[in-house]
């Protein structure tokens, strides 16, 4: 699959974000990595460049509106376009409900919800028709699991945010698609065992949403936004960039 597009991956300095940046670059996209981790982010972008991709790094704290706006501007300037936003930056602080620290909860709300929303906002304002936004949620948005109440709530919010944003983008004619990936932990033997045990006892809430085979056999490659981005690349127009009017 070839994606001749320009992409910004938030939280792309390491982990799944770095994997998705690599997958996009391997598919032919130019990739800007945005992250709070400067050294790791530069390193990740350097690896993409060394592999032949057009790539760069931008310092980005997704919770700050000025940063989100600047990251889009730098992407446009450096890569010459902006077709794909992977809203991947996210944090998880686990705690039983009885032990939740409000400061941790607010940090998750800030990064996972405010950060994702600001990314969408500035993508809608800058993206040309045919663009795509891929929000990284989590399977935690659909299941009950001990100690993830706060995280699960923020990822459920990303799912709802995605639906409303996609509807707005469609109804208001932005020409930008918005999707959400409910990512599974890449190596989740623990999760698979927990599901099997829960299934036997009939207590696995949301078990029908989970492909247990996948939890046992993690994919060799990280979850990628390629499927979500593909259509945008295929319908990408050569039209001049038309700023989308957002009131």
Ligand X SMILES: NC(=O)c1ccc[n+]([C@@H]2O[C@H](COP(=O)([O-])OP(=O)(O)OC[C@H]3O[C@@H](n4cnc5c(N)ncnc54)[C@H](O)[C@@H]3O)[C@@H](O)[C@H]2O)c1
Among 11-19, 171-179, 209-217, 227-235, the segment contacting ligand X (CB under 6 A): 11-19
Q: Please tell me the distance from the alpha carbon of residue 131 to that of residue 116, in angstroms, as a whole number.
A: 16
Show the tokens assigned to 56. 């760069």
Q: What is the DSSP letter of 87?
A: E
- Binding flag, residue 14, ligand X (CB under 6 A): yes
Measure the CA–CA gap between 149 and 213, rounded to whole angstroms.
25
Choosing from 5, 24, 89, 133, the residue that interacts with ligand X (CB under 6 A) is 89
Distances (CA, A) of 8 to 143, 185, 203: 29, 22, 40
CA–CA separation, 18 and 188 (whole Å)? 19
Alpha-carbon distance 134 to 26, whole Å?
18
Catalytic residue set: 151
Cα–Cα distance between 123 and 14 in angstroms, integer?
22
Residue 192 is a binding residue for ligand X (CB under 6 A): no
Query: Rule CB under 6 A: which of 49-78 touch ligand X?
Result: 60-63
Candidate ranges 8-16, 164-172, 200-208, 212-220; the one touching ligand X (CB under 6 A): 8-16
Cα angle value 176/169/113 (rounded, 5°): 95
The contact pattern for ligand X, residues 26-45, with x = CB under 6 A and - = no contact, is: ---------xxx--------
In angstroms, rounded to a whole number, what is the distance separating the alpha carbons of residues 231 and 45?
Answer: 25
Shortest CB 48 distance to ligand X, Å: 15
Identify which range of 85-93, 201-209, 212-220, 231-239 contacts ligand X by CB under 6 A: 85-93
Rule CB under 6 A: is residue 207 a binding residue for ligand X?
A: no
In the block, residue with structure tokens 């607010």: 106
Q: How far apart are CA 76 and CA 8, in angstroms?
A: 10
Considering the complex, what minimum distance in angstroms separates the CB of residue 140 from ligand X?
Answer: 6
Closest alpha carbon to 28 in 7, 3, 51, 52: 3
Smaller CB separation from ligand X, 134 or 233: 134
157 binds ligand X (CB under 6 A): no
Among 46, 129, 185, 206, the residue binding ligand X under the rule CB under 6 A is: 185
114 binds ligand X (CB under 6 A): no
Residue 88 as a binder of ligand X (CB under 6 A): the answer is yes
As measured in angstroms, the least distance from the Cβ of 19 to ligand X is 8
Among 138, 162, 215, 228, binds ligand X (CB under 6 A): 138
How many beta carbons lie within 10 A of that of residue 193, not counting itself? Answer: 12
Q: Site residues (CB under 6 A) for ligand X?
A: 10-11, 13-17, 35-37, 60-63, 88-92, 111, 115, 136, 138, 183, 185-186
């Amino acid at each position: 699959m070839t994606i001749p597009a320009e992409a910004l991956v938030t939280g792309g300095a390491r982990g799944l974000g770095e994997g998705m940046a690599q997958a996009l670059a391997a598919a032919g996209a130019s990739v800007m990595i945005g992250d709070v981790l400067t050294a790791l982010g530069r390193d990740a972008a350097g690896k993409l460049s060394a592999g032949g991709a057009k790539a760069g790094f931008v310092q980005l704290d997704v919770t700050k509106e000025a940063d989100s706006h600047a990251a889009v501007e730098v992407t446009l300037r450096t890569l010459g376009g902006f077709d794909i936003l992977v809203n991947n930056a996210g944090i998880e602080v686990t705690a039983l409900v009885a032990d939740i620290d409000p400061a941790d909860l607010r940090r998750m709300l800030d990064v996972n919800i405010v950060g994702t929303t600001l990314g969408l906002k500035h993508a809608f304002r800058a993206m040309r028709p045919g663009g795509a936004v891929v929000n990284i949620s989590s399977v935690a948005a659909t299941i009950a699991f001990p100690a993830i109440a706060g995280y699960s709530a923020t990822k459920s919010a990303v799912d709802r945010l995605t639906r409303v944003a996609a509807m707005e983008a469609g109804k208001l004619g932005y020409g930008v698609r918005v999707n959400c990936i409910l990512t599974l932990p890449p190596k989740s033997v623990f999760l698979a065992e927990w599901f099997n045990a829960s299934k036997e006892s009939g207590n696995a809430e949301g078990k029908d949403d989970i492909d247990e085979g996948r939890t046992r056999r993690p994919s060799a490659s990280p979850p990628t936004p390629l499927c979500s981005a593909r259509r945008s690349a295929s319908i990408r127009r050569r039209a001049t960039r038309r700023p989308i009017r957002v009131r």
